[in-house]
Amino acid sequence: MDLTFASLSEISEAVKSKKVSAKEVAAHFQKRIESLDPKLNAFTSHNPNALEDAESTDSRIAKGEDVGLLAGVPFGIKEMLCTKDLKTTAGSKILSNFVPPYDSTVVARLKKQGVTVMGKLNQDEFAMGSSNETSFFGAVKNPWDVNRVPGGSSGGSAAAQAARLVAGTIGTDTGGSIRQPASFCGIVGVKPTYGRVSRYGIIAFASSLDQAGPMVSSVKDAALTMEVISGHDPMDSTSSQKLVPAWSQKLSTDVKGVKIGVIKEYMKGGLDADTEKTFSESLNTLKSMGAEIVEVSVSMSEFAVPIYYLIATSEASSNLARYDGVRYGYRAEFSSLAGVELEDFYAKTRGEGFGQEVKRRIMLGTYCLSSGYYDAYYTKAGQVRRMLTEQYLAAFKKCDVILSPVTTSPAFKIGELVSDPLAMYMNDIFTTSTNLAGLPGMSVPFGASHAGLPIGVQVTANHFDEQRMLNVAAALESVSPVKGRKPHVI
């Protein structure tokens, strides 16, 4: 078996049947990380106990214990998710020395199913960015072209997965942070329905939008990982009690009679030629496989980017108030605390600890929530958010899933947009609505630019209807013209 490109279930089955040990699997990927990661900067830290952890999976197997669905499968975890005794920094200086005393629910569930955590993956600071250039630990490079960004904020997860430094990764998605980097790096990335996956132990950016999900190499791997990480968690009051279906068992590529919605307001142009071509080919392909294309209207989607940034920055300014240099994280240096005003103590610590993009968003959010502006900005955004969601729900009465591009173009060059935040924010035009409405959405690779860069297609479904979304993605994947392409770096 070629371990590097094996699927999650292939690795797990091989480990359980003792064809290969979990330790050998971990050692194989550890070598890949050591040789390839210096080119990519995808990892921020390695799990020093990875081999021992894998060994304990092997000894459990030797004792005949049930080691779960992902036995011995090596995973990389985004820096947003707390990992017990492993640094969790959110890509920020302010948390650069933080070692959580507990695992996030997502990580605990992965470990319970036998996953070996190989290390932590780089990201935009506090998941704020569409390019992975705002990390305190430096920019991540796209494995398809190291002069280009891998996308953000889960850029480390996307790059590590595309270069197969691990078998699977976890990202988080607040406005497209799983789907956009998945598209830029040619992998599969899923943002589940809001509430499907517990947010307990995930560093909060914008609580009503954040959701963790798999970033892996195939739709089946995504379905399997989702089964492991989804489900009710008493530690998260927004976590849903709905049953978790066996998505991976029910995957089907049959799309006969499936109604594929196309949002007419998205068809106004503004897409680069390669992205437009990929999208229209994906529609034609589904049609030729027996799906029906239906035009739907979500007119409020035009306002998704402003509503998203109003809500996300407001929630972020509130969530990030906890970083004050008292209980954990970075503290500014003071020769003596005597005579230091508490407010100055906070301000200096936060001013030194946060990077530029985070400060910009805290400022925006604080302004939007401040007296005199709260109703005009935050309340209004919440109202338009409801109108947008209702339009989506009406659209799903006419179609089963919605197909759209993921981004307006393939991966851009490092440094190209970093000085123009508004242009960078507009990059999220196709992904933010999904978070605002709490819908599940995913990116599946379906094309390439003339320069060979990957281009994904986005499939969105109604709340908790992940199965239909995964099936349409599986259908596209089964006939994808870019199937089997590998980035140059590997």
Partner 1 sequence: MIDKKAIEHIAKLARLQITDAEAAEFSAQMEKILQNFKKIENINTQGVEPMVTPTEIESFWREDQVVQNYKPEDMVANAPDRAGNLFKVPPVV
Active site residues: 78, 153, 177
Q: Using the rule CB under 8 A, is 314 a contact of partner 1?
A: no
CB nearer partner 1, residue 18 or residue 386:
386
Cβ-in-10-Å burial (0-12, 13-18, 19+) of 51 comes to middle
79-94 CB burial, b ≥16 within 10 A, e <16? bbbbbbebbbbbbbbb
Return the residue of 35, 252, 356, 478 that touches partner 1, per CB under 8 A: 356
Return the residue of 1, 62, 246, 321 that touches partner 1, per CB under 8 A: 321
Q: Which of residues 93-152 bind partner 1 (CB under 8 A)?
A: 97-99, 101-102
Q: At 394, is the secondary structure helix, strand, or coil? A: helix
Return the residue of 64, 256, 337, 484 that touches partner 1, per CB under 8 A: 337
Q: Using the rule CB under 8 A, is 340 a contact of partner 1?
A: yes
Q: Using the rule CB under 8 A, is 241 a contact of partner 1?
A: yes
- DSSP-derived secondary structure for 401-457: EEEEESSSSSPPBTTSSTT-HHHHHHTTTTTHHHHHHT--EEEEEEEE-TT--EEEE
Least distance from C-beta 408 to partner 1, angstroms? 16
Asked whether the beta carbons of 167 and 73 are under 8 A apart, the reply is yes
The two three-digit tokens of residue 73, written as one number: 């499968």
Pairing of β 43-46 and β 168-173: unpaired
CB nearer partner 1, residue 239 or residue 449:
239
HSE at residue 435, side-chain half, CA atoms within 13 A, is 32
Q: Which of residues 446-465 bind partner 1 (CB under 8 A)?
A: 463-464
Site string for partner 1, 184-223 (x = CB under 8 A): ---------xxx------------xx--------------
Return the residue of 62, 363, 394, 451 that touches partner 1, per CB under 8 A: 363
CA pair distance 192, 226, nearest whole angstrom:
8
Q: Which of residues 269-308 bind partner 1 (CB under 8 A)?
A: 300, 302-303, 305-307
Tokens 């339009």: give the residue: 391
Q: Which residues partner with 458 through β-bridges?
A: 404, 443
**How far is CA 334 from its chain centroid?**
38
Query: CB under 8 A: which stretch of 25-33, 126-134, 361-369, 446-454 binds partner 1?
Result: 361-369
CA pair distance 172, 77, nearest whole angstrom:
10
Return the residue of 91, 168, 171, 325 that touches partner 1, per CB under 8 A: 325
CB nearer partner 1, residue 65 or residue 344:
344
CB nearer partner 1, residue 9 or residue 297:
297
Q: How many residues bind partner 1 (CB under 8 A)?
A: 83
Least distance from C-beta 393 to partner 1, angstroms? 11
